[in-house]
Amino acid sequence: MDADAYTPEAGDVIDGRYELIEPLGKGGMAQVWRAGNFTAGEAGPRCSDVAVKFLRHDSEALSALDPHERESELAVRNARFRREADLLGSLDHPGIPQLYASGTHQAMPYMVMRLVDGVNLRTFLDEHSPLPLGTALAVAVQATMALECAHTLPVVHRDLKPANIMIDSAGSVVVIDFGIAKPLRADATRYTAHGSTLGTRGYLAPEQLLERTPTARTDVYCFGCIFYELLTGRPPFPLGQDSGLTEKHLKETPLPPSVYAAGVPDLIDDLVLRMLAKRPEERPTMTEVMTLLTPFAPRPGDAEPRPRTHPDPTAPLRLPELQRPPLHHPSPSAPADSPAPADGYWLDQREIEDLCVRAEAEIASGKPGDSTARVQGLTERVRDEWGERRPIVRRVWRTAADGFRLLSDHGSAADIYATIVADMIREDGPTERAERARIRLRRALCHLSFGDLSTAISAVEEAGRTAAGLPPDLAAELEELRIDVDTQLGARLMDP
């Protein structure tokens, strides 16, 4: 350990405004402090408290390494810590801690976040299990909303477990500790060495145990383990069963939750077992999980659950006066106040065509800007005003999706591409068949970013069959995109 490594102490002031008050917790890689937030230095008025997270340079694991290994491990931890700050800065959801600031203090990396005053789910389950069904579903729905937001970017958490889910004093659920989270971009830096499995024993997906590349559906499996425990009071494969625990996660199908908890609906039974499928492609997406769970969640006006718990996770969903978490995360790529034609007059097709030309030029340059944002804000309006069949409507939607994809908002892009194929291309002439295949290939690129290889394989195979029946000019254009997607798919298939 470095003899001069900074050690946080009560009273220290970080960034000239955050005064450390008391330690909240310490793990192998980081420690978290409660801090007072002062608007103008130490003498200024105090605002709400915040959480300050420091990267640890003094952990026992680091002290056991030789100097060269320790230097290498510190470099990895520093890089992970910076990436966690970058990810939190890009995630905007009430179920994920908001990042206020980040930097270094006496050479120690830190980040300042919204403080979640409450209890972690591990403690909550230990105190209140078995939970009333409504309480279990309220926790699951709120956590799923936050994870669906992360997956839209896409980001995989990789360490979902009860200790990394908080319930604040008002009952709101917050997913914390994105310390080993990873962007699912092809160019994302890999900080995990082979032979090193990240995550927590008992909540690892089969592909994590096999040291394969994680996808968004890795989180679905890990959260499936948590959801099972919410419903039944026990994980699908209890930690006490030391013998063969890894083999159980790799090969054994757990019993339905209803075996251990009366009253679990058949649809929830089926959903949990699908979340725990051994093959990632057989699991639902987090969006599908959220969609299926929401109708079962408590609603405004429902009675509070019995027995009561404190905090009460059903409160944000059943009490109208409390602000409810949004069901869908607004895309950070398209501000809600993006300029668009005023609502007081009908859209002018020539004006919209000129806007698309400017947006397409921005996208071709690799720098989506104001015109792209305006197009993204017009998708619903052009469809409502002109219907789904007009080419200009398809052009607006396609341009909006291309912009989202370039900005790495692959979830929004994939949804728009899917709508175009399902609702906006009705004819079956050569031009329409070529466009349908191109849109499916672009959607496949979005799914590749989530690690969904099966969608890409199907799109590439279908595009090849379609190209064979097209006129030469249309076939050549489609084939160029098909080869590009196939190349990226091949690279993913080669990634262990």
Confidence of residue 357 (pLDDT cuts 50, 70, 90): very high
Contact 437, 477 (CB under 8 A): no
Sequence ranges of the binding site for ATP: 53
CB-facing half-sphere around the CA of 298: CA atoms within 13 A: 28
Confidence of residue 495 (pLDDT cuts 50, 70, 90): low
Domain spanning 349-494: CATH superfamily = Tetratricopeptide repeat domain (1.25.40.10)
Sequence ranges of the binding site: 53
**DSSP H/E element including 447:** helix 430-449
More confident residue, 467 or 337: 467
* Cα gap 313→446, rounded to integer Å: 34
The overall pTM is greater than 0.75: no
pLDDT over 50 at 140, yes or no: yes
Mean pLDDT of 114-118: 92
The pLDDT assigned to 60 comes to 66
The pLDDT assigned to 338 comes to 37
Contact 20, 12 (CB under 8 A): yes
pLDDT over 80 at 158, yes or no: yes
The pLDDT assigned to 35 comes to 95
- Give per-residue pLDDT as tens, 370-407: 899 999 999 998 988 888 878 889 999 999 999 999 88
Give the active site residue among 159, 219, 402, 452. Answer: 159
Confidence of residue 59 (pLDDT cuts 50, 70, 90): low
List the domain boundaries for the chain.
13-114, 118-318, 349-494
* Cα gap 414→452, rounded to integer Å: 12
- Give per-residue pLDDT as tens, 418-470: 999 888 887 788 888 999 999 999 999 988 887 788 888 999 999 999 999 99
* Cα gap 188→190, rounded to integer Å: 6
Mean pLDDT of 346-355: 84
What SS3 class is residue 378? coil
- Topology of 118-318 in CATH? Transferase(Phosphotransferase); domain 1 (1.10.510)
The pLDDT assigned to 45 comes to 62
Output the average pLDDT for the chain: 85
Mean pLDDT of 200-228: 91
Confidence of residue 242 (pLDDT cuts 50, 70, 90): low
**Prior bond of 67 cis (ω within 30°):** no
Instruction: Confirm or reject CATH 3.30.200.20 for domain 13-114, answering yes or no.
Output: yes
* Cα gap 240→248, rounded to integer Å: 13
Contacts of 175 (CB under 8 A, 6+ apart): 95, 96, 143, 146, 147, 150, 157, 160, 164, 165, 166
162-175 exposure pattern, b = at least 16 Cβ within 10 A, e = fewer: bbbbbbbeebbbbb
* Cα gap 187→183, rounded to integer Å: 9
The pLDDT assigned to 494 comes to 66
Kindly give the interhelix angle for 286-293 and 133-152, rounded to the nearest 10 degrees: 150
Which of 176, 179, 185 lies closest to 154 in space, CA to CA?
A: 185
Q: Where are the alpha helices (DSSP H) in 31-181?
A: 60-63, 67-90, 121-128, 133-152
The pLDDT assigned to 201 comes to 73
For strands 155-156 and 173-175, give the pairing.
unpaired
For residue 35, the 8-state DSSP code is E
In the chain, % of residues over pLDDT 90: 52
pLDDT over 50 at 337, yes or no: no
Mean pLDDT of 48-63: 82
Confidence of residue 190 (pLDDT cuts 50, 70, 90): low
* Cα gap 239→279, rounded to integer Å: 22
The pLDDT assigned to 5 comes to 74
- Give per-residue pLDDT as tens, 278-291: 999 999 999 899 99
Query: How many other CB atoms are there within 10 angstroms of residue 55's CB atom?
Result: 21
- The two structure tokens encoding residue 380: 């619903």
Contact 87, 145 (CB under 8 A): no
* Cα gap 254→276, rounded to integer Å: 8
- Give per-residue pLDDT as tens, 288-334: 999 999 999 999 889 999 899 999 999 999 876 444 444 344 333 33
Q: Does 343 qualify as catalytic in the annotation? A: no
Mean pLDDT of 190-216: 73
Query: Cα separations (Å) of 357 from 333, 338, 362, 364?
Result: 19, 18, 9, 10
- Give per-residue pLDDT as tens, 69-79: 878 888 888 88
Confidence of residue 363 (pLDDT cuts 50, 70, 90): very high
Please spell the DSSP secondary structure of 188-252, one letter per residue. Answer: PPP-PPTT---S-TTS--HHHHTTPPP-HHHHHHHHHHHHHHHHHSS-SS-TT--TTHHHHHHHP
What SS3 class is residue 47? strand
- The two structure tokens encoding residue 108: 């120690």
For residue 52, the 8-state DSSP code is E
